Amino acid sequence: MKNWQTDVLVIGSGLAGIRAAIEARRAGATVLLLSQSPIGKANNTAISKGNFAIPDGGGDPRDDASQHLNDTIAGGSGINNPALVSVMVNSLRDEAGFLADCGVSLVRRETGSLVRLNFPVYGLSVRLLEVFTGQTG
């Protein structure tokens, strides 16, 4: 059996895993990213075709951080940690900027707001952002 030495072990190669690995490395850690499939090919990020919920208003006054927080807690059947969900929700706009800085083509309207999709998940109306290709379905 082979032994590996690392400061940070990231399991999963979806966008969240890759993003965690990038931040750990930026902080000076040695990072090992493990994936059961080719990186970026068989995970929820790939399956969702790059659709992500980001509360930027997008022209809909109901689409704000508070609503996103409530939707996320409801989607987690209330077992998620509200303080951690709040940290996540309040960092999402910055994450959209990070994706753009990495060369991801964000789909925007002429007004500059991000294109939104409504997609029912477990009975919730989740506002989705197309961030990769603009493709749906």
- pLDDT tens track, the chain, 137 positions: 889 999 999 998 888 888 888 889 999 999 998 988 777 666 676 666 666 677 776 656 666 788 888 888 998 898 999 999 999 888 887 887 887 787 777 777 777 777 665 544 432 233 333 333 344 44
Strand, helix or coil for residue 22: helix
Interhelix angle 82-101/65-75, rounded to 10 degrees, is 120
pTM of the full structure: 0.64
Cα R_g (the chain), whole angstroms: 16
- Residue 33 CB neighbour total at 10 angstroms: 19
Distance of CA 12 to the CA centre of its chain: 13
- Residue 38 CB neighbour total at 10 angstroms: 10
Using DSSP bridges, classify how beta strands 31-34 and 8-11 pair: parallel, antiparallel or unpaired.
Answer: parallel
- Residue 41 CB neighbour total at 10 angstroms: 10
User: If you search the block for the tokens 């952002």, which residue do you land on?
Assistant: 129
What are the residue boundaries of the structural domains of the chain, listed by start? 1-47, 48-137
